[in-house]
Amino acid sequence: MRTNFLGWLIFLSYVYVPAAQVEEELVVEQLRVLEGDHQQTLWHYLLAQCDQLDLQRAGRLNTALETSETLKQHLQYLQQSYQQLLGDFPLKTPLNSMVTGQLIGEGFRIEKVLFESFPNHHVTALLYLPHGSVNLGVGALNLLFDWDSP
């Protein structure tokens, strides 16, 4: 009896579920206002807007590149616009830096530094410093790690 019930249950699930899906698709098709596939309409509209803005930007840049004076004016305009978007920059404050440790290597040393980029915002850094008067250029090393990844 139980096996017979499970058999009917499985049979009905195979028959009823696809029928319900077909019925749902028919309802969606009946409610469709426009013909065709419009799933990407917003995406295509936004891309067209980006292309139009990029063409306008390229036109302004080409005009600015005509003379050095127009280029200076354009750069000044960009700087002012950018600063207006960002708002006022924070006031310069002391770094309150401190060396928290040192590692000595062959021909160089590494200083572990802690400083405040702005008040109560601490940043750690490693300074790689050569020994002696080696004539090396200035360099920056920036390594970003995601410690949660395997």
Task: Please tell me whether the overall predicted TM-score, pTM, comes out greater than 0.75 for this model.
Answer: no
Nearest one of 113, 59, 112, 118 to 93, comparing CA atoms:
118
For the chain, give every domain's residue range: 42-86, 98-130
**Is the pLDDT reported for residue 129 higher than 60?**
yes
Q: Please identify which residue in the block is written with the tokens 């067209």.
A: 48
**Which residue would you say has higher pLDDT here, 1 or 126?**
126
Output the pLDDT for position 50. Answer: 97
User: Taking residues 49-70, what's their average pLDDT?
Assistant: 96
For the chain, the average pLDDT equals: 81
Contacts of 72 (CB under 8 A, 6+ apart): none
Q: Is 119 helix (H, G, I), strand (E, B) or coil?
A: coil
The pLDDT assigned to 80 comes to 94
Alpha carbon distance 59, 80 (integer Å): 19
What percentage of the chain carries pLDDT values higher than 90? 42
Q: Per-residue pLDDT for 9 more than 70?
A: no
79, pLDDT greater than 90: yes
CA distance 110 to 113: 9
Q: Which residues contact 136 (CB under 8 A, 6 or more apart)?
A: 130
Q: Please, which pLDDT band fits residue 141 given cuts at 50, 70 and 90?
A: low
Query: Which of the given ranges, 11-15, 117-121, 131-135, has the highest pLDDT on average?
Result: 117-121
Residue 8: in which H helix or E strand, if any?
Answer: helix 2-31
From 109, 113, 145, select the one nearest 126 (Cα to Cα): 113
Mean pLDDT of 103-116: 90
Q: What does each C-alpha distance from 132 to 52, 108, 126, 129 come to in angstroms?
A: 57, 9, 19, 9
